[in-house]
Amino acid sequence: MINIYKNLIINYINQKLTINDILEYASKNNIELSKAESIIIYNFIKRNYVNILNGDDSSIQELKKSLPEPLYNKIIELYLNYKSKLLF
């Protein structure tokens, strides 16, 4: 079952993910993002999603250097929440 979720995520990121998706997702989670922050997050996802899906989330520290601490902390909170649900 995990492989099905991974394949769905991989296909979505490769074929459909847009910066607007990042902005909409943030808005649905009551997170205010600037256009620049959404671009940073988008580029991070595109560069690192394979490693993260394979259990190596060490690259997430990279975001800490580029984003305000409250935003980074919210991203970590969301990530850990989804990670626990999907068991990656």
- pTM of the entire structure? 0.90
pLDDT for the residue numbered 47:
97
The arithmetic mean of pLDDT across residues 3-26, rounded, is 94
Q: Fill in the DSSP letter of residue 67.
A: S
**Helix 35-53 and helix 19-28, axial crossing angle in degrees, nearest 10:** 100
Q: How many domains does the chain have?
A: 1
* Percent above pLDDT 70 for the chain: 97
pLDDT digits (tens, 9 = 90+) for 53-80: 888 999 999 999 999 999 999 999 999 9
pLDDT for the residue numbered 87:
63
* Domain extent for 34: 2-86
Q: Is 30:38 a contact under the CB 8 Å cutoff?
A: no
